[in-house]
Amino acid sequence: MKYTRIPQTDIRISKICLGTMTWGRQNNEDEAHEQMDYALDQGVNFFDTAELYPVPAKKELYAVTEELIGNWFRKTGNRDKVVLASKIAGPGQVASHIRNTGFSKNAIINAVEASLKRLQTDYIDLYQLHWPERNTNYFGQRGYNAHAVDVWDDNIHQVLETLRDLIAEGKIRHIGLSNETPWGTMRYLEESKVHQSLPRMRTIQNPYNLLNRLFEIGLSEISMREQIGLMAYSPLGFGVLSGKYLTEIPPRKARMSLFPNYNRYSGDTAVEATEKYAQLAKEHDLDIAQMALAFVNTRPFLTSNIIGATTMEQLKDNIGSIRIELSDEVLEGIEEVHKAIPNPAP
């Protein structure tokens, strides 16, 4: 395994992060525990979850993923071996079964305390805001609609104050963003610069993969200049970059077969780009999934690459990508495809 650090901290984390969003829906508790056992044995010490999980979100399954992780901590006694990240759900229809108070002081406090109870731990190493409260473009929206109704009042100072108090209480150690824009990222960073008693955002968890490199346009400079590290999610684009959907009949239990509305990476141009990446991998005797993950692992702004799997075979291959070194020829081939079909999936 290779390791990095959460920026500007002494917390050492694996460059591969174990994602958990299928646990409790596509994976049962035994399978989730098997994944954690194997990942930890392979040197993966960084796990990412959220109160929203499993995904797709469902009222009856609210926060089951955190409960499964908590049961594993109790069973194994491995809490001190894991750097644990979780998230508070933002407002909106996808989380309407959770709360409708956004990131108010009480909402954040209650969310943290409930997660701690489910996770059976006294602290969360990295606590993230899952998506912005304000109307902006995230979850696949290409553009910003300046005319959309937005009742949000700038409460960033209050959010950071609440998180500061939770850090002081020892309930969380560090904080991060998720699905955030360049404006939002800088707004949080500047607030903590001006008011130095406030905590600083350490990471940003956004999509990044061969089909969606939008992070590079504005956020990569912020990431590197401001030392806020990318935790890349969907590095295989909902599994599209495994190549399994290029077959005439996709696997029956695959994510997009089960949830066809998750079509963010399934448009015609995305499929065309995936075919080109698959051909490039074949020419160099590489597995396309491992090539796609290895590419993410090379990025200078990356803090950790969040992989997810529903089978042990997938998990082993995904973790194994850390050992793949891409040649200059492969990297040049990737850039050629990217130039021809840039960012086909938002």
86 contacts: CB under 8 Å, gap ≥ 6: 48, 49, 50, 51, 66, 115, 119, 124, 126, 127, 128
The CA distance from 2 to 7, in Å, is 16
Helix, strand, coil percentages for the chain (3-state, nearest 5): 45, 15, 40
188 classed as catalytic? no
Q: Which residues, including other chains, have CB under 8 Å from residue 143's CB and lie 6 or more apart?
A: 137
Give me the catalytic one of 3, 53, 138, 233: 53
- Please report, as a single letter, which amino acid is at residue 109: I
3-class SS string, 259-294:
CCCCCCCCCHHHHHHHHHHHHHHHHCCCCHHHHHHH
SS3 labels along 114-166? HHHHHHCCCCEEEEEECCCCCCCCCCCCCCCCCCCCCCCCCCHHHHHHHHHHH
Q: At which residue do the structure tokens 């606590």 appear?
A: 127
Closest to 216 in 3D by CA, of 226, 203, 230:
230
Q: What is the DSSP string of 3-38?
A: EEE-TTSS-EEESEEEE-TTBTTTB-HHHHHHHHHH
Q: Active-site residue numbers?
A: 53
